[in-house]
Amino acid sequence: MQTKITAPAALLVIVVLTGCTTLPPRVGSIALRTGDEIVVAGHYVHTGTPVVLWTDPGGYDAYRVERRFAPFENSDWKISSEEVKGLGTPNRYSLRKGELTPGEIERVRGGGWDLPLLQRVVDQFVLHFDVCGVSRTCFKVLHDYRCLSVHFMLDIDGTIYQTLDVKERAWHATTSNTRSVGIEIANMGAYRQLEGSALEKWYGRDEQGKTRITLPENVGDGGVRTTNFVGRPARNEPVTGEVQGETLTQYDFTPEQYKALAHLTAALCKVLPKINCDYPRDPDGNLILRKLDDEQLNNYQGVLGHYHIQTNKNDPGPALDWDQLIGDARNLMKNSSLRPPVRTGRGQEQLRN
């Protein structure tokens, strides 16, 4: 007499005989994100810090051609292009052609990047401040009015928003667009003087004399995801320093932003190893505070500011503590490693810390 083994029983037999404790996923079941992943050439890469993707509720989608914050009936491309002179094309991003061969361009033009190819192309991580104060306003300015894009935005509470797969050529840093990943950090920027600048509207003192971010009325809650979040610069007093030969004043980024940025920097330097975890240095090892000359910029591989690329830019400003950022990122890289990829679907892999 033969015993008929049902499918669940058969799987149990396989587990017992092979020692495998992972059962095949059920067809139609939903695979959930843990919430810290960024997307790099279709791969999920863990960062260890909260990330909101363009596909998530509340995310910001730079793939869409309509304006995100215009009235819905007036947001399509046709009306948008008529109402906003700054919108020259439906898309705010393009293809990383760079040094790709014609055959490689043809292969990836439909979206089919593989990770090794992207690792060959991308070697810079560009830091910006957004002069918008919060990420929601930043996306509105970039997407709805300026026909620009950036891969990541970092809000005052440390939430990272990804708007495009890293494989895309975002429009954020002119000559470095093809080879770089970009991030806009929510911060009101640097000014020649504190008095009369936007800093007076965005920063105030509480009863204990501690500096806090004060969102103007026209910003509302700013879209900040952390409920009742009170943002404070990492240093209580404004920071004055020299960038591009000009003395500027700026309030520091929040501790939550430093922590999240270190995690993102470490993850990007891990998965895109041509991005060295370091900043531009002079022969004495000090931070360069001006645009790199053409040869320096052409040869530079690593983390850098917008002002290292263009003479008319001063972001991320004098307040950024480069040593803290790079030191924390290096420690994260040293103390964690990427495990082997786990298949999440046909042709897809998930990289995990």
φ/ψ of 103, rounded to 5, equals -65, -40
Give me the domains of the chain, ranges plus CATH numbers.
Answer: 37-94+118-351 (3.40.80.10)
Interatomic CA distance for residues 51 and 160, integer angstroms: 5
Interatomic CA distance for residues 162 and 234, integer angstroms: 24
For the chain, 353 residues long, give each residue's pLDDT as a single digit of tens: 555 545 455 444 444 444 555 678 789 988 888 999 999 999 999 999 999 999 999 999 999 999 999 999 999 999 999 999 999 999 999 999 988 999 999 999 987 899 999 999 999 999 999 999 999 999 999 999 999 999 999 999 999 999 999 999 999 999 999 999 999 999 999 999 998 899 999 999 999 999 999 999 999 999 999 999 999 999 999 999 999 999 999 999 999 999 999 999 999 999 999 999 999 999 999 999 999 999 999 999 999 999 999 999 999 999 999 999 999 999 999 987 544 333 333 334 444 44
Q: What is the pLDDT of residue 19?
A: 54
φ/ψ of 172, rounded to 5, equals -145, -20
Q: What is the pLDDT of residue 349?
A: 41
- Taking CA atoms, 315 is separated from 216, 248, 249, in Å, by 22, 11, 12
Q: What is the pLDDT of residue 245?
A: 96
Q: What is the pLDDT of residue 336?
A: 72
Q: What is the pLDDT of residue 13?
A: 46
Q: What is the pLDDT of residue 111?
A: 72
How many Cβ atoms from other residues are within 10 Å of residue 185's Cβ?
A: 25
Q: What is the pLDDT of residue 101?
A: 94
Q: What is the pLDDT of residue 2?
A: 53
Output the DSSP codes for 230-257.
Answer: ----SSSS-EEEEETTEEEEEPPPPHHH
Confirm if 341 and 43 have CB atoms less than 8 A apart: yes
Q: What is the pLDDT of residue 110?
A: 81
Q: What is the pLDDT of residue 353?
A: 41
Contacts of 68 (CB under 8 A, 6+ apart): 60, 61, 75, 139, 140, 143, 144
